[in-house]
Chain A
Amino acid sequence: MATQTFLDANELVLNMGPQHPSTHGVLRVILKLDGEKVIGTDCIIGYLHRGIEKIGENRTYPMFAPYVDRMDYISAVSNGLGYCLAVEKLLGVEAPPKAQAVRVILTEMNRITSHLVWLGTHALDIGAITPVFYTFREREEALKIFEAYCGARLTTHAFRIGGLQYDLYDTFERDVRKFCDDFLPRIDEYEQLLTGNRIWVERLTGIGILTAEDCKRYGVTGPLLRAAGVQWDIRKAFPYSGYERYEFDVPIGRNADTYDRYLVRMQEMRQSVRIIRQAVDGIPEGPIMAKVPKVMKPPAGEVYVSIEAPKGELGYYIISDGTITPYRVRVRPPSFVNLQALDKMAKGALIADIVAIIGTIDIVLGEVDR
């Protein structure tokens, strides 16, 4: 009788990453396989750890603001908004109405650019190469507006604590309206390419299911939670920056799978356009900066402020001890928490689906590792 060789072993451990085109950065996943079936995963993260929270304790409040852009670097505007809101809450000030409206416009445009990067790369992972060219074409138009407004395209540092640094440039409203008009039909184009595409549907339907119950157990938020049928969005639950003034829907899915998450994100881009149009039509006149002291020393205290970032709940827990530097800055990153559910979603899937599941979580490793 032949002795057992490694070929007879049922379990195989396979390393994926940290340098792998489908892990969207430096994520390393150790896969435990039974044939082609995944029976367990272990994520090794931290390759991009820069100690953002430690840096925060060693910088003044305004000095730390550019650093937060470098966490989720494809939605830097959202990161900056969350940080500014948290420090404003500590200081007890509120940005003036004009600044709030501009913040909403830029943050929603940032949600669109973030979802476009997700859509392009996710489709690329599945094997559809065309969408990424289209999504990056549209993203470029949005980045041009960021650049014209604040000089930077990605790590924008667009907002300041208390409001805005720069007033709008002359053609801002016109550019934003044109972007909205051009962009809306483009979403239909993407959908024509993908929504009914047989390969796309079959690769995504029923893959990576994470039920509403499981989402809550793992603390998963954002489009993943909404695709599971929970109509929850921080813009509605705890409105900030004047979101309560705008009409928009919170799209939800039913099947909690990768395909529904795709549909939810597509709908979210349409809703973002809807918000931007309302905001740009009603930019109030007035100052762009609240009265904040030149040297910021928030009274001793602590706040937790969170926003609906493109990827989920992004929270800042800041403790002030009354000096010019925060005593503690904690960032509650959506990517980090959502990635934890990978194991749950991947169990029982095939190895080819892992790529779809990593893509559907929509992680940015800069934020996972901070």
Chain B
Amino acid sequence: MDFLNNIQVWQAFWFVVIGAAIFLFLWLDGFDLGIGMSLPFLKTKEHQLSALNVIWPVWDGNELYGLIGGGAIFATFPVVFASLLSGLYPWVVLLLIGIMLRPIAFEAWSHETGNKAVWTWAFALSSFLIPFVAGVALGTTIAGMPINAQMVWDHGHGFWEALSPLSVLCGLAVVGLTLLQGSAYLVKKTSGDLQAQARKDLTPRTIFAAVTLVLVLVVALLSPGLLDGKPLAVVGIIVGLVFILGGLAGVWLHRDEKSPEGAAYWFSSAVIAGTMVLVCGVQFPNLIRSTIDPSFSLTIFKDGVSNPINSLMLIGIIGTVALAITAVYTILVYRLFKGKVDHKSHLHY
């Protein structure tokens, strides 16, 4: 077990864990964010209620993976946590508005006996802000921030420098992925008119996701120096693209009524998995690229970026055991709520 005493092993381990947490967040919270954005466009109150009943028992457990991703960065790479959040300050405020507004709108919607439209739109807005800003942040770590030799946002560089075409495109791509995931999950979990509408939505949403993902890739490949010093970039791009293209094709071919109801959802999940493989491949070992000088980039192996080995090990062991147990009971709870859902589900005593 000698390799466990090597800090680089733990730094790489945490890179993978953070990537996995972001994947779980996009995969699981993805469908409820997508359904949230669709909410104002569903035709009847019954449809809205059915859609909410689909995500009701699980959405806050899903959002937790985003929190775990963020918490993992704080616990293992505090310099990255601090630089990213303070550098993107105004954008993170928008993200937090989304995170706070969502459960409030959810509760208010369920108790409101009058006009629910305000809460419907508040829920949709917050469901948009979360994936969009998360995508912008992800894109910014790839495109780069003005990080100086002291590992902080360099004075004299304005906050707007975080907004490159690549980061905005990443925001749109993540929104596209969650929209697709939302429709695919509705097809799996509902029936009747609502399911039919969700099936129809699959077509434009597949196109939107495909276009934004391709644009992200093209802009990234055209950016000078973006792939320098990235040993896994080529592998990541190839493996990622196999999943992304296969997944998109799968959704496209299974959007009609004759296909199995769960098929689109699993193919759409493959697109998300492929996206995260691609992102991790393109990033490794970078966490935030520096636009001032590539040698200032915050990589997982750089001195002073990660916590010392005992902290990485401790939270590695506690976190792994805890999440293994969490996985068991989360699956049990999903089984408890499995099956079709409509507006009469979840009688609430």
- Indicate, yes or no, whether A interacts with B: no
User: Contact residues of A with B, CB < 8 Å?
Assistant: none
User: Contact residues of B with A, CB < 8 Å?
Assistant: none
